[in-house]
Amino acid sequence: MQTPSQQMIQIRWHGRGGQGAITAAKVVAEATFKSGYGGVVMAPTFGTERRGAPVSTSLKVSREKIYDLSPIQFPDIVVVLDYLILNEVDVTVGLKPGGLLILNSPRPLSDHPFPDFRVAVANVTKFGIEAGLRKGIVNSGIIGALGKASGLVDIEVLSQCIANEFVGRKPAENARAAELVYAATEIREPSRGGSHA
Amino acid sequence: MSEKLIDSGNNAAAMAVQLAAAEVIAAYPITPQTPLTEKLSELIAAGEMDAEYVAVESEHSALGVCIGAASAGVRAFTATSSNGLLYMSEQLHWAAGARLPMVMCVVNRGIGAPWSVWNDHQDAMSQRDAGWIQLFAKDHQEIVDITLKAFRLAELVHIPVMVNYDGYYLSHTYMPFELPDAAAVKEFLPAYEYAHALDPQKPESLNTVTLPDSRNDTNGVKQPGYMDIRHNLHQEMRLAMDVLEEIDADYQQRFGRGGAPILDPYCCEDAEYIVVAMGTIANQFRDVVDRLRQEDGLKVGVLALQVYRPFPTAKIAETLQSAKGVMVYEKGLSYGNQGALYADLKSALYPYPARPQLHNFIVGLGGRDIRTEDLCQTLKTACQQDDLSAPEQTDAPQWIGLQL
């Protein structure tokens, strides 16, 4: 039989308080819903958030309605908005072998050896500035990396949803950041372990 | 036109209240309810909702304002959570005793001390005897649909209605739902007309000191005493279940959703073991039921209780009486005894000679993770258990996920 996780794509997002991980997950939730996924659940994890402290949020996507709202334990995809969080949080905990790890990092792909996982890296911070955003705005850009590496939703739909979300807050620049990151994301297949569903 | 969208549970509730054309909103902020009334105040400030938003200094006053508004024949709404609901407690009893229709969303959260902002059902359970109708939603669609039905129910039976939904699991989670067409809602829920609306031209004496015995009023008409009034509240609350079913049937005809306003069973027809739960955990059990049926061949089902007060005694007993085992999973308890829902269920089943074996599980207090794996394991164990332990042992609640 299929376990729920095989029918469902589970994405866990790691960022810092104030970085906009929840907004990014919300945009992708909207985009997947518009792309025909009937089951979409975006659930922020609430704790004692402070600006700058590591936070996480979860997004479950399925063709069918989702009944289980419990937190993600075994994600298919992990998105990290700031590579320095790797020093503070074990972001790959529960990530399935062959699962996808997406990093915003200024360092090259080779500096992030995760042999069990498919790894996607882009310098989202840099492309944000190039697109005309204030330094440190990465929550729109990282969506481009997710779009490229997962193939879950077309970049056009993602751009449109970003522009809708950021109305009055540089919508075109935010969408542009995602498009630049989409084009520049580098991906490495896992050197061992299974393949990603 | 109805609209399909994806948004938070709090925003879904706010949009339903907007569609219901509530005329007075009075609320005091408390997590995780706050975004709901924030959204309503935004809608009112933007001119998208024709209502008076009354900012108050406490929950006690919030419900006081709603009591005033409803007394004047105005459709009123408030929302709260946790200790905020407890601070309203006196007014809750008043609103019910005065038979004032209004709707309140309770975004369920654990009660302090110690402080918790996370979800359980202790807030709602602690107010179960206040005389309010208590409904529970399992997802965003139900938040919308139940809230709309709640206004009509409250106004038909003259009993206030509490719409409960799980803090964070629903309040802050984004999920798809359909918002019904505004004009169609207007037909489903016509303007509120209150026969006893405060009117200087038609003075009435309401809720004054009411003597133990009935007596004749100034016109020589016999008026009930306190006990008679309270008896009527109880009786009419029991009858409210039939009214809710009628409302639901009408809602289903108009909007295409409904059919399970009181009990929502999943795989219960042939089930030997049935889980009973309220709110989102009942939906989580659907996946557990699928798994145990496929992997272990266990004939299990889950029965979501959508109405806690009035308690659907006969309906629930009918559904459960022929099961071998019934497992009650709940997010609250009557301290020093057992789960309140469990006790209610046990009492409902007592008159049936072939009543099932019962198990009580306490889960997810103050937001403790409810792992699907734990639900699978505990349910499976309970199904396979040949109960040879002492009755008082079987009857004691089992705590899931303790970290002692």
Q: Give the full edge-to-edge strand order of the sheet including B52-55.
A: B52-55, B24-27, B76-80, B103-108, B161-166, B133-136, B307-309
Could you read off the pLDDT of B321-355 as tens digits, one per residue?
889 999 999 999 999 999 999 999 999 999 998 89
The CA angle B398-B294-B363, to the nearest 5 degrees, is 20
Residue A134 has a CB neighbour count (10 Å cut-off) of: 9
Are residues B117 and A46, on separate chains, in Cβ contact within 8 Å?
yes
pLDDT of residue B147: 98
Identify the CA nearest to B33 among candidates B97, B84, B87. B84
| DSSP secondary structure letter of residue A17 | B
In chain A, residues with a C-beta closer than 8 Å to the C-beta of B291 are 3
Would an 8 Å CB–CB cutoff place B294 in contact with chain A?
yes
Q: What's the confidence (pLDDT) of residue A197?
A: 45
**Would you call the peptide bond into B180 cis, given omega within 30 degrees of 0 as the criterion?**
no
At residue A46 the predicted structure's pLDDT band, cuts being 50, 70 and 90, is: confident
The CATH code of domain A4-188 reads 3.40.920.10
Name every chain A residue with its beta carbon within 8 A of the beta carbon of B117.
Answer: 46
Q: Does A71 sit within 8 Å of B369, measured CB to CB?
A: yes
Is B114 part of the contact surface with chain A (CB cutoff 8 Å)?
no
pLDDT at B391: 79
Distance CA B193, CA A56 (A): 48
User: C-alpha distances in angstroms, A10 versus A43, A146, A197, B39?
Assistant: 11, 13, 11, 29
Tokens 């997950």 belong to residue:
A25
B125: left (phi over 0), alpha (psi -120 to 50) or beta: alpha
Residue type, B110: G
Measure A138 CA to nearest chain B CA, in Å: 21
Cα B184 from Cα B176, distance rounded (Å): 20
Residue A3 has pLDDT above 80, yes or no: no
Distance from CA of A37 to the nearest CA of B (A): 10
Q: pTM value?
A: 0.95
Contact present, A9 and A23 (Cβ < 8 Å)? no
Handedness of CA B175, B370, B105, B286 (dihedral sign): positive
Contacts of B283 in chain A (CB under 8 A): 67-69
Query: Beta-strand (E) ranges in B228-385?
Result: 263-266, 273-277, 300-305, 307-309, 325-330, 357-362
| Calpha distance A24→A79 (Å, rounded) | 10
Q: What is the pLDDT of residues B141-195, one digit of tens each?
A: 999 999 999 999 999 999 999 999 999 999 999 999 999 999 999 999 999 999 8
pLDDT given at position A195: 52
Task: Give the number of other CB atoms < 10 A from CB of residue A169.
Answer: 11
Scanning every residue of chain A, which has its alpha carbon at the shortest distance from the alpha carbon of B32?
Answer: A46
Q: What percent of chain B clears pLDDT 90, i.e. is strictly above it?
A: 93
User: Which pLDDT score, from 0 to 100, does residue A1 have?
Assistant: 38
Closest listed residue to residue B284, CA positions, set B397, B103, B119: B119
**Of B138, B141, B175, B120, nearest to B363 (Cα)?**
B120
Mutation site for B-interface testing, chosen from A61, A69, A161, A164 by largest number of B Cβ within 10 Å: A69
In this complex, is the C-beta atom of B297 within 8 Å of any C-beta atom belonging to chain A? no
Number of other CB atoms surrounding residue B224 within 10 Å:
14
User: Residues of B62-90 as b/e, b for ≥16 C-beta within 10 angstroms?
Assistant: bbbbbbbbbbebbbbbbbbbbbbbbbbee
pLDDT in tens, A109-132: 999 999 999 999 999 999 999 999
How far, rounded to the nearest angstrom, does the alpha carbon of residue B348 sit from its chain's CA centroid? 19
For B70-93, the pLDDT digits (tens) are: 999 999 999 999 999 999 999 999
pLDDT tier, A37 (very low <50, low <70, confident <90, very high otherwise): very high
Q: What is the CA radius of gyration of chain A?
A: 15
The tokens describing B84, both together, are: 């905020």
On the question of pLDDT at B371 being above 60, the answer is yes
What average pLDDT does the segment A159-167 reach? 97
Task: Look at A42 and B168 and tell me if their CB atoms are within 8 Å.
Answer: no
CA distance A112 to chain B (A): 32
Sorted by where each starts, the structural domains of chain B and their CATH numbers stand as 3-188 (3.40.50.970), 263-399 (3.40.50.920)
- Closest CA–CA distance from residue B182 to any residue of chain A (Å): 23
B174, A70: Cβ pair inside 8 Å? Answer: no
Instruction: Give me the interface pTM, i.e. the ipTM.
Output: 0.91
Q: How far B145 CA lies from chain A's nearest CA (Å)? A: 17
Lowest mean pLDDT among A187-196, B73-82, B252-261: A187-196
Q: Do the beta carbons of residue A142 and residue A20 sit within 8 Å? A: no
When pLDDT is averaged across residues B87-107 and rounded to a whole number, the result is 98
Closest residue, chain B, to A72 (C-alpha): B371
